[in-house]
A and B are shown apart, each in its own frame.
Chain A
Amino acid sequence: MRTTLGLYRPGTSVLHRLPAGAKLATLVVAGVVSIFLRTPWSVGGALVVTLALYAAAGLGPLVLWRQVRPLLWLLVVLAAFHLLVSGWQRAVVVVGVILVLVLLAALVTLTTRTTELVDVVVRVARPLRRIGVDPERVGLLLGLGIRSVPVVVGLAGEVREAQLARGLGSSPRAFAVPLLVRTLRHADRLGDALAARGVDD
């Protein structure tokens, strides 16, 4: 199962070669540790370590910037708010901790293939068998979801073209209803195909 739309950046660094489960476990630990970061110095230290890890993974400043950019405005507003209300130390700690956690989580995504993460999910879901969750089905569902994204995006393109050809402008109703009906019909065929392969047995 290969996907072209992942955020994964191929590489051969130590971080790329670490098992996905170990990276995810470290991320969870980092989340817990972050609760205890209370001074600007400790947060600054954590940020330096994070940046060093990006360098170790061979990811340049441009990749780093792309992870921060969607959050930028929010962080600026947040920093200004805390600066006015609770002083600069608090502003540095709050913004810094968010920055560190977002960057670390993004680092796992950037250095781990989607397929490896799917395997971890299936492995972690194994004990859930007792409460009626079938880990193989979880894996199947993830695969079906990944496969369905380009299919539905394709259907959306078809509907959009049909809409333009009939001069319907951009009414959300005239777009969404046919898209969803086509999607439901596609799901019917997909369901039949799964049943024919014995998924219901």
Chain B
Amino acid sequence: MQRSTSRDLALIATFAAVVAALGVIPAVYPFGGAVPITAQSLGIMLCGSILGARRGAGAVLLMLALVALGLPLLAGGRGGLGVFAGPSVGYLVGWPVAAYVIGWLTERGGAPYRLAWGLGANVVGGIVVLYALGILGTAWRADLSLTAAAVGSALFLLGDVVKVVIAAVVARGVHQAYPGLLRRRTVPDETPVRA
């Protein structure tokens, strides 16, 4: 197993805190208050998009560990072991997986960060993978059919699409202002333009 450097540890600890801090920020209610958007799942996408697979997933795992240890870091001041017994356990378990997938795809994209690639990575990790695990969890804990659980989770889809866009735009800004987190692309993507 790859050994983490002290810089990795510092990044993991501070980004775990970022996800926690985003839970403290009050929810925004666009679309006439129909879908509440808490900034916390935005934090999951940002961990993967900025730190990459290993450190991003590590930060999310650490944040969940702190929640399990009794800190009220989930949106709305929830925390403790109780949240892992509830029906949203699939989403919580899916968070580090989503961060890993987003990070893995973002690393494949390399530097400089491209918006379209970032959007794609966030859709695959933050929506496809996360919803698959979340729906399985709800169906299991709440004893629902997969269809019923999927219909229930569709309520949040709109908000999460907005978050995918925000996460990619913010990640691009961060990588521009603080280069060096992603490896440069070895193969240039500029294809010769024929006149």
Contacts and interface: CB of A to CB of B under 8 A. Distances in A.
Interface stretch (A10-18, A39-47, A52-60, A180-188): A180-188
Q: Which of A102, A105, A145 has the most CB of B within 10 A?
A: A145
Contacts of B6: 191-192, 194-195, 199-200
B69 interface: yes
B81 A27 contact: yes
Given A98-B141, A141-B62, A31 B70 contact: no
Contacts of A195: 5-7
Interface in B158-182: 166, 169-170, 173-174, 177-178, 181
23 contacts: A5-B72, A7-B71, A81-B144, A90-B143, A94-B143, A105-B83, A142-B66, A144-B10, A145-B63, A148-B13, A152-B17, A156-B24, A172-B170, A173-B173, A176-B166, A176-B173, A177-B177, A180-B170, A181-B177, A184-B181, A191-B9, A191-B11, A199-B6
A187 to B, nearest CB: 4
Given A81-B148, A109-B82, A180-B174, A149 B10 contact: no
A82 B143 CA distance: 9
A149 to B, nearest CB: 5
A1 B13 CA distance: 16
B148 A109 contact: no
B175 to A, nearest CB: 10
B17 A105 contact: no
A192 B24 CA distance: 28
Contacts, number: 191
Contact of A121 (B69, B73, B87, B177): B69
B14 A7 contact: no
B98 to A, nearest CB: 18
Nearest to B20: A149
Interface string B53-89: 0000000001101101111110010111111111100
B87 A74 contact: yes
Nearest to A146: B66
Nearest to A111: B70
B142 A98 contact: yes
Given A74-B87, A105-B84, A106-B82, A114 B14 contact: no
**Interface range on chain A (Cβ under 8 Å from partner):** 35 or more
A173 B72 contact: no
Nearest to B7: A191
Given A148-B13, A173-B166, A184 B66 contact: no
Interface string A152-193: 110110000000000000001100110111011111101110
B66 A177 contact: no
A153 B173 CA distance: 21
Contact of B50 (A144, A146, A180): A180
B81 A105 contact: yes
A183 B59 CA distance: 13
Top 3 nearest A-B pairs by Cβ distance? A109-B80, A132-B1, A105-B81
Q: Which of A7, A156, A179 is the most central at the interface, judged by chain B CB atoms within 10 Å of its CB?
A: A7
Interface string B128-143: 0000000000000111
Given A141-B12, A151-B14, A187-B14, 19 more contacts: A27-B81, A90-B143, A98-B142, A102-B86, A105-B83, A109-B70, A109-B80, A137-B9, A142-B66, A145-B13, A145-B63, A148-B17, A155-B21, A173-B173, A180-B178, A184-B50, A184-B174, A187-B7, A188-B7
